[in-house]
Each structure stands twice: as C-alpha cells, then as structure tokens.
Structure 1
Amino acid sequence: MIKKFLTIKDKEAKYVTVSLNNNFKENSVDDKFWIYCKGCNKHIFKKEIEDNWSVCPKCSTHYKLKARNRVDLLIDKGSFFEFHFNIKHQDIINFPGYLDKLTFYKEKTKEEEAVICGYGTVNEIKSVICVMNPEFMMGSMGSIVGDKITYSIEYAYDNDLPIIICSASGGARMQEGIISLMQMAKTSQALSRMEEKGLPYISILTDPTTGGVSASFAMLGDIIMSEPNTLIGFAGKRVIEQTINQKLPEGFQSSEFLLENGFIDMIVNRKEMKNILHRLLTMHNLPNTQRQ
C-alpha cells in the first residue's frame, strides 16, 4: 500500500508533513498544545482535557491525573489539611545512588514523597485521604510511604473518621529491599483495626496499581472502586505467562476484567467520583464526619 503525504507551510514558515492516510497519527502541530486522543483518535486541544480533570471531553478516555489535582477533585476547596510527619529518609540498605534519586524526584515533583496524606471534607463529610503520586519514583512504596499511610489510618481510627486511599503505584520500592515489603504487613494490620469501630475504608484504584501495593492495602477496601481502563495487577503479563506456562485472556489486568470477575465493586468516571464517595460515606452515618 502506497502512503500519500502532502507537504504544507505552517504559520511559522516551517514545512511539516501531513499524511493523507487516515491511519497515520503523526502530529502536524506543536505537541505542547494538541494531542491525538488514544480513545477516539480525535485531535484534541490539550487545555480542554486538562480543564476536564484530564478526561477527554469527546469520549471520556481517562488520562493520568496529578496527585495534587486528585486531592482538589475529591476534597472540598479550602478544607484540606495536609499531614506533615517528621520523617527523614534513610538509605537503609546502602543502595547505590538511592539518596541522589530521592533528591532528583523531590526537585522534579516539589513533593517530599510518593504519597500525599491529610484530611478534609467530601461534600461536608470529614474524611482522611491518602493520594499516591506515580510521578515520584513511580509511586513506589518505601518505608516512609508505608509510615505516612499507617499514621493516616491511625489518625482516622483515633478520630472516628473514614479513610480514602487513592492508589497509583508500581509496587514496593526495590531500593529499600525487604524493608519495603514489610510495609505491606504494616499498612494491612493498621487497616484491620478500622473494623473494630466499623469505620469504612474506601479504596480507589487508579492507573496503574500494581505490585506490593495491589497485594496489600489497595485490595483491602470495604468498597473498592476504580477508574475506567485502569491497569491493576501484581506481576506483569509476560512474567505470569512464563511462570504458569499459559496464555492469559485479553485485558485480564484491566479494571473492566476485574469488575466482571468480582475483584472490585465498581468502575466510576472520574468526574462522578466525588459524588459517589459522598453517597457511600453518607450511608455510614458516622458521628465525627461533619466539618469542625
């Protein structure tokens, strides 16, 4: 098949090549302003998607949302109080270059770690919230991430509040070895105490939720919800296929597949997430959830 191309002159007197073949998806304009939506294959102005909580306004394809923006999405404006725990990083197993990498990601993301924790109100219902940040070392869970999430759970327990955890992670942080794996047990044990008081834990799975995070607190929610087309799993598809020597079904690590097979409770469009959270929290009628 012969591909047809047309050379034109743009406004800045630069020549660009535009394909006359509809299957050719190369951008002919500045990628800073326009993208081809991976869902509907439409040429979309980036600002439209950003202003729509990183959701395509034409086909509702969900793109990754920054952690701070997710806090703004779920928590009432002006009500968020962030926990600032006095925890210092340590190179526990003397992993080469680890402290330099931490410094790099702190400067790049302007965050101290891969999770943001605090409390605020969801349509006036006071709740504790933790939001993982995949831009900080792929949201990996080291000792400080485990500590911050555990302390947040304990705050919710002590103050009779529900907790919401938004997961987005590549799993345990390899630079901390066995210490990072211990965070799975620590966070899970802390969550088990919530049941003593009947305090709800709502887990929100976002793209991607994998590894030690999916194998611990992410899948322990009283209610587990996910965004559409979210990658959820433990190991990669190729690793699993090589281990069990079987071909896996198409899309088996997608939120849609997990919902169909009973691993999660619901898939919720990002723009509806806050209202759904409010309805779920209202059903529990907790004593200390109103704004103080």
Structure 2
Amino acid sequence: MRIFSKKKKYATIPSEQAKQEVPEGLMAKCPQCKSIMYIKELKKNKMVCDQCQFHNRLTAWDRLDFTLDEGTFEEFDSSLVAGDPLKFPDYKEKSAKDRDTTELNEAIVTGKGKIGGFDVIIGVMDARFRMGSMGSVVGEKITRAIERAIKENLPFILFSASGGARMQEGVFSLMQMAKTSTALNRLHEEGGLFISVMTHPTTGGVSASFASLGDINLAEPAALIGFAGRRIIEQTIRQKLPEDFQTAEFLLKHGQLDKVVHRKDMKQVLTTILEIHFPDAHKKKEEDHG
C-alpha cells in the first residue's frame, strides 16, 4: 500500500532548535553562482566552486598547503610585528585584533620549502590581516626573503593578495614599494628567478611595485588586479570601462600577464617553470630517485 503525505499549505520557519541541529560551518554558498556546497568538499577542491569555478580567497596557510610539497615548509621572521610610527588612532588595537583572529603577526608569511622537489623561497600574503595591506613589516619580510633567495641562489615565488599600501603607516608604507623593488632588482642582477602570482585582489601600491615585477607574472582566474578603482578611473578619463577591466583575463589579453592559471593547476605550472629554469636540479632530482 502506498502512503501519501498531505502537502503542507504553508512553509514553516525552522525553530531555533532545528537551526542548531545543523552544525555551524558545514555548508557554504558560492559568492558568484550562489550554489550551496559542503565546506569539506569545497576544501577538497582547493576552495574553488565546482559549479562556476569561482576561486574563493585562501588563508596563507591553506595556500602553502596547496602549493608546497608536504612537510617542507620552514617559516622566516614569524615574530616581526608592526609598530605605530604615526600614532594612528586605533591602529594598535585593530592590528592586535587581526593577530587574534588570523593567528598571524602580519599580512604575509615567508619561508622556504619545496615545489615538485625544487627548493624555493616563498611568500604568501593573507588578505584577512588589514586587507593584506603593505606596511613596514610586510615590506621588510619580503625584502629579507628576496635577500635569502639571492644568498642561497634559489627562486623566489610570491603570492600577492592586497588592498595596497597601509594608510595607517603613511609614507613608511609607501617606502616599501621602493625597498622591495630595489631588492628584486638585485635578485635580477644576480640572475635569480622571481615568479609573481597575483590573486584576488592585488591592488594599489602592491600591484604598482613588487607584484608586477616578476620574471614570470601569473594570476588566478578573475582576480582583480589594478592600481586605482574603476570609479576613480572612469571619472578621471570620462569614459566607460569594459566590464572585464582589471581582471586577470583582461591583463593577459593586453600583455601584462604571462598566464592565467587555475588553482588546481598552479603547483604543476610552477613545477614546470622550475624544471625549465633549473634543468641541472631537475636532472639531479631524477638521479636521486632513480
């Protein structure tokens, strides 16, 4: 015998008890296509929506996990903490709050690790800390990482994610543009390799300095990359900008990027670049495994 249930005339609003039965942090909604997915599955997919391929932002630690060979990361300068040179209102308190919520001392993590068996010096910016803004410590950590790459004759890879210069540090923040660019010029003169990977968003003083100075410039799909905002540019030039303006795809089309790389392919693309630039190391690696 088939049993039919009577269709309810009105939709019911879940009680607070019913809501609490669904574990917090179980599901997530895609910001682009609004698809609902299990966070566990989303993480397996490297935080990329399997419906529309939207690339969600990553923490610095997730980025390192997805990029480096397992168990190879050695962090540099983790204890560096920004001061308050301008005595900017509430800056100390806001920085302290970010340190608590992100468990980071600053907006970038730097260190040494392996990608596809190749030793690299790597930096990963984290937009959760002051929107990934570039202050004195960010500039100092990047500069030290570059100097380490020069000293050890290793490639330097930097994942950018930033709102630009940190206004609470004023000119001290702006000075980091010249500081990091000068360090990269020394790396270039020594014949070193710098791979810049721009993620969403990479803007302001970061896009205008080290992020755009790679020997090879890569980006994730649909990443916002640019200096000033769309509205400011439109008001200045009094023209309507294309819909895809300041996206990674737009920059690739106009010659400002070498390749747009899907997150699932990023480690393999980086490994291939390293194999091309360091054939002797690749040959030695094959001999060690042979």
Q: Give 3-state SS (helix, strand or coil) of 2:11's partner.
A: strand
Q: Is 1:211 aligned to residue 214 of structure 2?
A: no
In structure 2, how many angstroms separate the alpha carbons of the residues matched to 1:83 and 1:287?
27
- The correspondence of residues 48-63 of structure 1 with structure 2, limited to 5 A, is 48-63=41-56
Q: Is 1:242 aligned to residue 235 of structure 2?
A: yes
* Residues 83, 14 of structure 1: alpha-carbon distance in 2 compared, 3 angstrom cutoff: closer
- The correspondence of residues 14-25 of structure 1 with structure 2, limited to 5 A, is none
Give the total of aligned pairs: 275
Paired residue for 2:220, among 217, 227, 232?
227
Counterpart for residue 8 of structure 1: 11
Instruction: Give the TM-score of the pair, scaled to structure 2.
Output: 0.88
Paired residue for 1:188, among 181, 185, 188?
181
Q: Structure 1 counterpart of 2:255, which letter? A: G
Contact 2:174 2:205 in 1 (8 A): yes
Which ranges in structure 1 are unaligned for 5 or more consecutive residues?
1-5, 17-28
- The correspondence of residues 67-106 of structure 1 with structure 2, limited to 5 A, is 67-84=60-77, 87-106=80-99
Counterpart for residue 37 of structure 2: 44
Q: Give 3-state SS (helix, strand or coil) of 1:8's partner.
A: coil
> Which has the larger displacement, 246-255 or 105-114?
246-255
Counterpart for residue 117 of structure 1: 110
Counterpart for residue 154 of structure 2: 161
What's the CA shift for 1:249?
Answer: 1.4
In structure 2, how many angstroms separate the alpha carbons of the residues matched to 1:238 and 1:140?
21
* Residues 36, 108 of structure 1: alpha-carbon distance in 2 compared, 3 angstrom cutoff: closer
Contact 2:251 2:257 in 1 (8 A): yes
* Residues 248, 11 of structure 1: alpha-carbon distance in 2 compared, 3 angstrom cutoff: closer
C-alpha RMSD over aligned residues: 2.4
What's the CA shift for 1:39?
Answer: 4.4
What's the CA shift for 1:250?
Answer: 1.3
* Residues 67, 48 of structure 1: alpha-carbon distance in 2 compared, 3 angstrom cutoff: same
Contact 2:82 2:106 in 1 (8 A): no
In structure 2, how many angstroms separate the alpha carbons of the residues matched to 1:205 and 1:95?
29
What's the CA shift for 1:88?
Answer: 4.3
Counterpart for residue 128 of structure 2: 135
* Residues 81, 61 of structure 1: alpha-carbon distance in 2 compared, 3 angstrom cutoff: same
What's the CA shift for 1:83?
Answer: 0.3
What's the CA shift for 1:199?
Answer: 1.2
Q: Structure 2 counterpart of 1:243, which letter? A: T
Counterpart for residue 34 of structure 1: 27
Counterpart for residue 147 of structure 1: 140
Q: Deviations over 1:53-99 (max 9, x none)?
A: 10112332211111100011111111100002664432111111111
Which ranges in structure 2 are unaligned for 5 or more consecutive residues?
1-8, 286-290
Aligned-pair identity (%):
47
Q: Give 3-state SS (helix, strand or coil) of 2:105's partner.
A: coil
What's the CA shift for 1:45?
Answer: 2.3
In structure 2, how many angstroms separate the alpha carbons of the residues matched to 1:88 and 1:203?
24
Q: Structure 1 counterpart of 2:44, which letter? A: D
Higher helix share: 2
Paired residue for 2:170, among 173, 177, 182?
177
Q: Give 3-state SS (helix, strand or coil) of 1:167's partner.
A: strand
Contact 1:161 1:288 in 2 (8 A): no
Q: Structure 1 counterpart of 2:196, which letter? A: S
In structure 2, how many angstroms separate the alpha carbons of the residues matched to 1:8 and 1:31?
23
In structure 2, how many angstroms separate the alpha carbons of the residues matched to 1:151 and 1:200?
16
Q: Is 1:276 aligned to residue 288 of structure 2?
A: no
Q: Structure 2 counterpart of 1:216, which letter? A: S
